[in-house]
Amino acid sequence: MEPIGEKLYSRDDVVRTYRQVYDLLVTKHIINTYSTNKDDVRDIALKDLDLRGVDKILDLGCGYGFFIEKLKKRLSPAACFTGIDIVENNRDVYINSVASTGYKGQFINDDISCISSLESSAYNLIIASYSLYFFPWAIKEISRILMDGGIFVSVTHSRHALSEATDFLPRCMKKIGINPPGEIALNKLFEQFSLENGEKMLAPYFKKVDKILYQNEMVFSVENIEDCIYYLEKKRHLIYKEVMERYPKRVVDLESCLAQSIYHYAKKNNGISLNKDDAVFRCYK
């Protein structure tokens, strides 16, 4: 199964972004600390679902297994997780997350395109948490491998996620003498499967799609602006993709310009709020 159209990020871009598993944990901590919405998006995603009969779970772009702890005691005692991720470093931490729930599990280090070799109707719960925008071309395959009566749960961002920060980039690029692209790759990534277009993309492949809005923003005061900069820095291979490829020596200047722009904005406006609206899609077959 090949991606339809141009692949926005290469395997290397994704691996460089997510190979430091510890960074992802710190990033999640920053999100929790500065989010205005204090509900846990996983509780919202799984609320009122009867999962007692679920025994085959597929976790796509699983990372360290963000969802797993919330499934403890909710599945069949025979439940078995399969996590797939392109980053091998997630293996141990994923296996440990599964073990802590008492269920069985395995980790497959591969590209999501490998699901084309999986049997049809093999899983009764499939999860894609903040990952489907990397491989929206896999939706049809996801529907094929989901059992009748099964559920696919996907969580994704708004297409405007982080735009209050990334909107500074074109001006910063001009400032350091680089021609800005029409739209930066990170925005294109979020647009590939977003709160706004997710329902339309999923509807042709499932019997029913429910959308649950999770409104949120991350609010950083001037005193905490370093956490905001750190959070963005962890996404540098996604945010500065075009510049890394064409002008690798200028990335540091661009990062510094973005950090300064954010700091000045926050100083003038008593902080900065970043869009962190998400949506949960529950798809039934």
Ligand X SMILES: C[S@@+](CC[C@H](N)C(=O)[O-])C[C@H]1O[C@@H](n2cnc3c(N)ncnc32)[C@H](O)[C@@H]1O
Residues making contact with ligand X (CB under 6 A): 14, 18, 61-63, 66, 84-87, 111-112, 129-131, 134-135
Token pair listed for 57: 């779970």
Token pair listed for 166: 């990334």
Quick one: 62 or 258, whose CB is closer to ligand X?
62
Is residue 94 within 8 Å of 118, Cβ to Cβ? no
Cα–Cα dist 254/241, whole Å: 12
Cα–Cα dist 176/132, whole Å: 34
In the complex, least distance from residue 119 CB atom to ligand X, rounded to whole angstroms: 19
In the complex, least distance from residue 65 CB atom to ligand X, rounded to whole angstroms: 7
In the complex, least distance from residue 179 CB atom to ligand X, rounded to whole angstroms: 28
Cβ neighbours of 99 (radius 10 Å): 12
For 120, which DSSP code?
T
Quick one: 145 or 266, whose CB is closer to ligand X?
145
In the complex, least distance from residue 223 CB atom to ligand X, rounded to whole angstroms: 27
| Residues 6 or more apart in contact with residue 96 via CB below 8 angstroms | none
In the complex, least distance from residue 17 CB atom to ligand X, rounded to whole angstroms: 7
Quick one: 63 or 198, whose CB is closer to ligand X?
63
In the complex, least distance from residue 34 CB atom to ligand X, rounded to whole angstroms: 17
Is residue 105 within 8 Å of 80, Cβ to Cβ? yes
Quick one: 138 or 266, whose CB is closer to ligand X?
138
Quick one: 126 or 266, whose CB is closer to ligand X?
126
Q: Are strands 278-284 and 208-214 parallel, antiparallel or unpaired?
A: antiparallel
Is residue 272 within 8 Å of 221, Cβ to Cβ? no
Q: Are strands 278-284 and 217-220 parallel, antiparallel or unpaired?
A: unpaired
Q: Of all helices (H) and strands (E), which one includes residue 236? A: helix 236-239
Quick one: 28 or 73, whose CB is closer to ligand X?
28
